[in-house]
Amino acid sequence: DAGVIQSPRHEVTEMGQEVTLRCKPISGHNSLFWYRQTMMRGLELLIYFNNNVPIDDSGMPEDRFSAKMPNASFSTLKIQPSEPRDSAVYFCASETGVGDTQYFGPGTRLTVL
Amino acid sequence: QKEVEQNSGPLSVPEGAIASLNCTYSDRGSQSFFWYRQYSGKSPELIMFIYSNGDKEDGRFTAQLNKASQYVSLLIRDSQPSDSATYLCAVNTGGSQGNLIFGKGTKLSVKP
What pLDDT, in 10s, does the model give residues A48-100? 999 999 988 888 988 999 999 999 999 999 999 999 999 999 999 998 875 67
Q: To the nearest whole angstrom, how far is the Cα of B17 from the nearest Cα of chain A?
A: 28
**Residues of B77-90 as b/e, b for ≥16 C-beta within 10 angstroms?**
eebeeebbbbbbbb
CA-to-CA distance for B2 and B27, rounded, in angstroms?
6
Among A94, A92, A83, which residue's Cα sits nearest to residue A61?
A83
CA-to-CA distance for B8 and B23, rounded, in angstroms?
10
Which residues of chain A are within 8 Å of residue B49 when distances are taken between CB atoms?
101
pLDDT exceeds 90 at position B109: yes
Are A99 and B43 in contact (CB < 8 Å)? no
* Residues across chain A: 113
pLDDT exceeds 80 at position B94: no
CA-to-CA distance for A87 and A112, rounded, in angstroms?
6
Please give the sequence-ordered ranges of beta strands (E in DSSP) within chain B, or none if there are none: 4-6, 11-14, 19-25, 32-38, 45-50, 54-58, 61-66, 71-76, 85-92, 100-102, 106-111
Chain A contact present for B63, CB below 8 A: no
Q: To the nearest whole angstrom, how far is the Cα of A73 from the nearest Cα of chain B?
A: 19
CA-to-CA distance for B12 and B108, rounded, in angstroms?
6
Q: To the nearest whole angstrom, how far is the Cα of A99 from the nearest Cα of chain B?
A: 5
**Which phi-psi region, left, alpha or beta, contains residue A19 (left: φ > 0; alpha: ψ -120 to 50)?**
beta
Which residues of chain A are within 8 Å of residue B107 when distances are taken between CB atoms?
none
pLDDT of residue A96: 83
Among B65, B88, B61, which residue's Cα sits nearest to residue B75?
B61
Are B34 and A101 in contact (CB < 8 Å)? yes
